[in-house]
Amino acid sequence: MDALKLINSSSLKQDVPELNIGDTVKVHVKIKEGDKERIQVFEGTIIAKKHGGVEQTFTVRRLSHGCGVERVFPVHSPNVDKVEVVRSGRVRRSKLYYLRDRVGKASKVKEKIQ
């Protein structure tokens, strides 16, 4: 079991910022199209975090042309180039699934004043 933990800790990314529920983030994702590779930015609110260690993931939600789009990103994936925190949100829940039912201003998360 200790050997497994050692392998897991060696393969973790070290430059991952502090990600919290309710934060608005820009996720820079590597997209492969044929033999070319480009970086696409996905900006939205973190509504969930799951697991831990190597298999840790976070779910980002945004509205695109009036339709809700959610993507799950592994924190330590080589396809995730970088994650920028745009603003911090003030929430009292660990999962913000209730935002799926909200429309317009009701789906906004208040900003945390530091």
pLDDT for the residue 1: 61
Rounded distance between C-alpha atoms, residue 30 and residue 84, angstroms: 15
Mean pLDDT in each 10-residue stretch from start to end of the chain (114 residues)? Answer: 71 81 97 96 97 90 93 93 95 96 90 86
In a 13 Å sphere around the CA of 88, the CA atoms on its Cβ side amount to: 9
**Taking the domain 2-105, which CATH number applies?**
2.30.30.790
Q: Would you list the domain boundaries of the chain?
A: 2-105
Type of residue at 30: K
